[in-house]
Amino acid sequence: MSICDFGMESKIFAGETVIHVSEKHPLILLAVLLPWSEMFNLILDDLKRTTKNGKWWLGRKLKVRIHLGAYILQQLYNLTDRKVQYGIKDNAAYQIFCGCNIMDKWHVPDHTKIEEFRSRLSPETQRQLANLIAGHAVKIGIADAKDLDIDSTVQEANMTYPTDAKMLRKLGMLASKVSEKLRSILPNDVHDLTVDIKGIALKARNCFFQKRYATKEEKSDNLQQLWDCVSDAVNRINSACKSLTKNQSESFKWNVKKAKDQLIEHGEAYLESAKIFINTGKSMAGKKLSFHLNEVECFNKGKAHKKYEFGRAFQLGRIGGNFLFVGSCTSIRMDDKKSVEPMLAEHEKLFGENVVDSIATDKGYYSKKNIKHAQSKGVNKIGIQQPCSVKKNNLLSAEDEEELYNRRSGIEPLIGHVKLGGQLGRSRMKSDSTIESSGYTSVLAFNLRQTIRAITKKAA
């Protein structure tokens, strides 16, 4: 092979170039098939509701086609707001997907506007968008709604592992942040506003780096010392915060105000629950797991690599063609036994009545009530697995039973793909509503990838 060194000494200069994007490009095929009008109708109410002063017909027009395209690209490739902006600037296929050739005065949206558009969509709207893609897949013939498998998964919240030592140290840091502002407002001769943050950090370090074979008494003693130091500071700062006037409270910056609210709302209650754990060794029911999140529960699914997970549960349904739809999160735990009826109702809403021919779940969904409900919906093959302690009902033949049990296990790798390509595994959002939304959009992204896979296979 010969070698060419042409261009090694040349300087690069700006200029124009023509990039041809093939009609068989995956994003072009996807853009042609997506139900843009239906998606627009879904998000329209949210856009009207979140317009300033409710006057959505005034001001500069929002080019929804551009922002909706950017929103889909962001979820499809799990990008940050800035990366979406840079991608649309540099990628010709991204630009065409966002309507470059069909819109007047087309422009690349700023990353702040991309975030603003996404924030205006409610979690329920984003869930409906995810399910709309599954419904559209059935309409265009790349999915089949007759077969239904149901399973649940846990989405981990954007929070640290909530040990008492970490939480108490965090509480001390909140008290220290608020005390800095209080010193400039309140007289020090009336309120003691000092927080020994170094002492708190030292005692927390003693809890973090204990001897490998430390006894329970030694661990409890270290935690008690940390509790004493934190509780003294929190109680003093709390009492000072309660003496503030309305004007003084409004003078706080947003981050200090947030710390003050968390301290007042959760400080005393968490100190009480931590004290109970130190004295009894048992955690109190309803114990706070995070100061900045409210919708968080502890899950133990018996995983070898992850004993406890902290977040919320989602119920997912798989249809033929390996597309998923997601049920509405009416609670944080989303109990399996109580989720069969809502998931069948959601399936009926998306694909029509009496469409389900077979259903399969694991043992966690078993109850006689769920079996009767599935029968009332005209389901011919009911593969809700029975626990060993329950007498076999013989609703299925041995062949059908094995087929449904094996088919149900196929939803597990799909959940893994949803988690890997989105934020259903661990969310990077910082509030309860946005964390819930990120779980729904992970399902949206998975359905979009499945659509691309099916249509590119046909195009080939």
pLDDT in tens, 387-397: 888 877 778 88
Residue 1 has pLDDT above 80, yes or no: no
Residues 268 and 302 in one domain: no
pLDDT, average across residues 286-301: 91
The domain tally of the chain equals 3
For CA atoms 59, 65, 68, 70, the dihedral sign is negative
Report the C-alpha gap between 11 and 317 in whole angstroms.
56
Residues 264 and 373 in one domain: no
| 3-state secondary structure at position 121 | coil
Residue 192 has pLDDT above 80, yes or no: no
Residue 3 lies in a domain: no
Residues 348 and 233 in one domain: no
Which band of pLDDT confidence, cut at 50, 70 and 90, is reported for residue 188? low
Q: Among 66, 95, 119, where does a domain finish?
A: 119
Residues 112 and 129 in one domain: no
| 3-state secondary structure at position 329 | coil
Which band of pLDDT confidence, cut at 50, 70 and 90, is reported for residue 243? confident
Residue 309 has pLDDT above 80, yes or no: yes
| 3-state secondary structure at position 292 | coil
Residue 177 lies in a domain: yes
Residue 77 lies in a domain: yes
- Is residue 414 within 8 Å of residue 276, measured between CB atoms? no
Which residues are 383's β-sheet partners? 360
pLDDT, average across residues 316-338: 95
Q: What is the pLDDT of residue 189?
A: 59
pLDDT in tens, 397-435: 889 889 999 999 999 999 999 999 889 999 999 999 999
Domain span at 358: 123-159+296-433
Which band of pLDDT confidence, cut at 50, 70 and 90, is reported for residue 449? very high
Residue 105 lies in a domain: yes
And the tokens for 301?
A: 């699914």
Residue for token pair 């950090």: 201
Residues 244 and 327 in one domain: no
324's enclosing H/E stretch is: strand 323-326
Q: What is the pLDDT of residue 113?
A: 95
User: How far from chain centre, in Å, is Cα 196?
Assistant: 37
Residues 383 and 311 in one domain: yes
Q: How many CB atoms lie within 10 A of CB 298?
A: 14
Residue 268 has pLDDT above 80, yes or no: yes
Q: What is the pLDDT of residue 190?
A: 62
pLDDT in tens, 49-97: 999 888 898 888 999 999 999 999 999 999 999 999 999 999 999 999 9
Q: What is the pLDDT of residue 118?
A: 95
Q: What is the pLDDT of residue 19?
A: 87
pLDDT, average across residues 192-220: 90
Q: What is the mean pLDDT of the chain?
A: 91
Residue 154 lies in a domain: yes
Q: What is the pLDDT of residue 138?
A: 95
Residues 245 and 136 in one domain: no
Residues 35 and 76 in one domain: yes
Residue 44 lies in a domain: yes
For CA atoms 362, 360, 124, 133, the dihedral sign is positive
- Is residue 266 within 8 Å of residue 209, measured between CB atoms? no
Residues 95 and 139 in one domain: no
Residues 308 and 410 in one domain: yes
Q: What is the pLDDT of residue 46?
A: 95
Residues 391 and 374 in one domain: yes
Beta-strand pair 323-326/144-156: unpaired
Residue 192 lies in a domain: yes
Residues 65 and 115 in one domain: yes
Q: What is the pLDDT of residue 98?
A: 95
Q: What is the pLDDT of residue 171?
A: 94
Report the C-alpha gap between 47 and 40 in whole angstroms.
10
298's enclosing H/E stretch is: strand 297-299
pLDDT, average across residues 97-116: 93
pLDDT in tens, 133-179: 999 999 999 999 999 999 999 999 999 999 999 999 999 999 999 99
Residue for token pair 């009332």: 376
46's enclosing H/E stretch is: helix 36-49
Q: Among 280, 305, 323, where does a domain finish?
A: 280
Amino acid of residue 411:
I
And the tokens for 381?
A: 């093959």
Q: Among 119, 150, 177, where does a domain finish?
A: 119
Q: What is the pLDDT of residue 181?
A: 87
Helix 432-459 crosses helix 26-33 at what angle (to 10 degrees)?
Answer: 110
C-alpha to C-alpha distances, 316 to 61, 63, 182, 284, 347, nearest whole angstrom: 37, 33, 48, 31, 11
Across 23-37, 125-139, 386-400, least confident range? 386-400
Which residues are 319's β-sheet partners? 148, 323
Residue 381 lies in a domain: yes
